[in-house]
Each structure stands twice: as C-alpha cells, then as structure tokens.
Amino acid sequence: MIADIIARKGLNTLLEEIYSRKPISDPHVMIMGIGDVEMHDKAPLQVTQFEADIRLAEQLENIFLEHVTRSKTGLPYVVETLERLDIKEIEATYVSRCYMTRHGAGSFEYETKEPPYRNITEVTNKINEYQGRFRYGILDIIELAGAIDHDACSVYPKGIDVKRSFALTCLDHLDEGNVKFVFNGEQKGPINEVINAFVDLACINDAYVSFGLTGNDIKKIDKNFLK
C-alpha cells in the first residue's frame, strides 16, 4: 500500500535529511497521522511530541496503520537470498489487474460503487462477515508506477541491477477494449495508450497482457501493440 510505504520509509528519509542538513538551528519535528472516523478507525488521530532526536524517524517503522496487513513484499524480501547467491542482476515482473481492488475496510481512492466493467466476475472473493464486500476502483497508473519504482530502487544500494517487466491482467473484463484509468484526472482510452504511458512512467523493459485464466492467454507486447 502506497500510504504505508510513504509513512514508514518516505517520512523516515525526510526526517533524517532535516536532522542532518539543519535548515534551521536545532530543528524539532512532530508527526501527525489522521485517519477516517467514519470508517471506524480504532486510532483516527496519532500525534507525536516535538522531537529533535533521530529516534523519532526510527519509530515510524512501528506506527499503527488502520486496515493494513503488515508484511514485507517485493524485492527487499529476497535481498538476503540474492546476496548469499551473489546474484547481481535480476528480472522482476510486476503484475496488476486493469482495475484496483480491495477486500476489507479502509480508505480507497477512486473507488467505484459498482464493478467498473460489466464482465467482472469474482469466484473466490465473496462477501463475508470479516471483510465485507469485495471493492473495486479505477486504476491509478501514476501510483502504480511509483510503487514499482520504489520497489526496484530499494535494492540498488545492495548493488543489484533490476530489469523491470510488467503484466496487466483481466483484460477480458473490459468493455469494448477501453480501460478506465487515473492519470492527471480520471480518463478512459484504448489499452495500448494506457500501457504505453505506464511503460514510460515505470521504466518497464518488457510488458505482457493477459486476456484470460490460463498461461495461453498471456501475450508479450511488441511495438505494434503500443502504436
């Protein structure tokens, strides 16, 4: 989740830079987190006191974020294995549906009241008493590109070079081949235009699309597709 990454990593880096550069003499910093009272957040307001200690930045690793399952996914999860095997070059394939989903409570920007495409069917994600209904939203390609860039860059300090690949799935769910997406405001357009913009944003080397449930439905995108 982007908010989780920004809170735990981005703010940490920001505070370290403030403390080290000292744009003012003896800087003191306070962190405030505001949740969603209407969504019944257990901790809708979290505030630290003003601190001049770098340990405030370190404590961000342990803050409580409502409706977020704590986990470390992506490339940092396998760094230790790569280092043990002395692997310096890898290919990471990032995968996303052509729309956004969430199962459970919490904020969800660009959420739609109904599934964004008529052909969407969910076989396993059923309504239940713990998570409620399965939720849908418009794909934010800037946010997605930022998440991929953050993950890929996270292992560069370890001397690991990452070739980025990307797969866009569930294209058989689209209406008339057009995909709704967020890029400087909500838009709608042909698949190739969306993927073309995304490939440039996220510095993708190879891109794939999936139009079904099996491996036979996956196609590697060539230059003709992106025209």
Q: How far apart are CA 194 and CA 73, in angstroms?
A: 26
Tell me what pLDDT residue 14 has. Answer: 74
Whole-prediction pTM value? 0.67
> If phi over 0 gives left and psi between -120 and 50 gives alpha, with beta otherwise, what is residue 17?
alpha
> Cα separation of 193 and 227, whole Å?
8
Q: Which two tokens stand for residue 48?
A: 């630290």
Per-residue pLDDT of the chain (227 residues; tens, 9 = 90+): 445 566 666 666 777 777 777 777 777 777 776 666 555 555 566 666 666 665 555 555 555 555 555 556 788 778 888 888 999 999 999 999 999 998 877 778 889 988 989 888 877 777 777 777 889 999 888 888 988 998 898 888 889 999 999 999 998 898 776 788 887 777 777 777 778 888 888 899 999 999 988 889 999 987 556 55
Contact 56, 47 (CB under 8 A): no
pLDDT for the residue 161: 92
Q: How far apart are CA 6 and CA 107, in angstroms?
A: 15
Nearest to 59 by CA among 69, 48, 70: 48
Residue with tokens 């953050």: 150
Quick one: pLDDT at residue 137? 92
Identify the CATH assignment for 75-226 out of 3.30.190, 3.90.170, 3.50.50, 3.40.50: 3.90.170
Helical spans, DSSP H, in 96-186 = 141-153
Each domain of the chain, given as residue ranges in start order, spans 2-62, 75-226
113 three-class SS = coil
What integer pLDDT is reported at residue 223 of this predicted model? 58
User: What tokens appear for 65 in the block?
Assistant: 């974020």
CB atoms within 10 A of CB 197: 18
Q: CA-to-CA distance for 48 and 184, rounded, in angstroms?
A: 34
User: Measured on CA atoms in the order 166, 170, 171, 174, is the torsion positive or negative?
Assistant: negative
| Residues 175 and 118 sit within 8 Å (Cβ to Cβ) | yes
pLDDT score recorded for residue 1: 46
* Tokens (6 digits) for 115: 């599934």
Q: Is 28 helix (H, G, I), strand (E, B) or coil?
A: coil
Return the SS3 of 71: coil
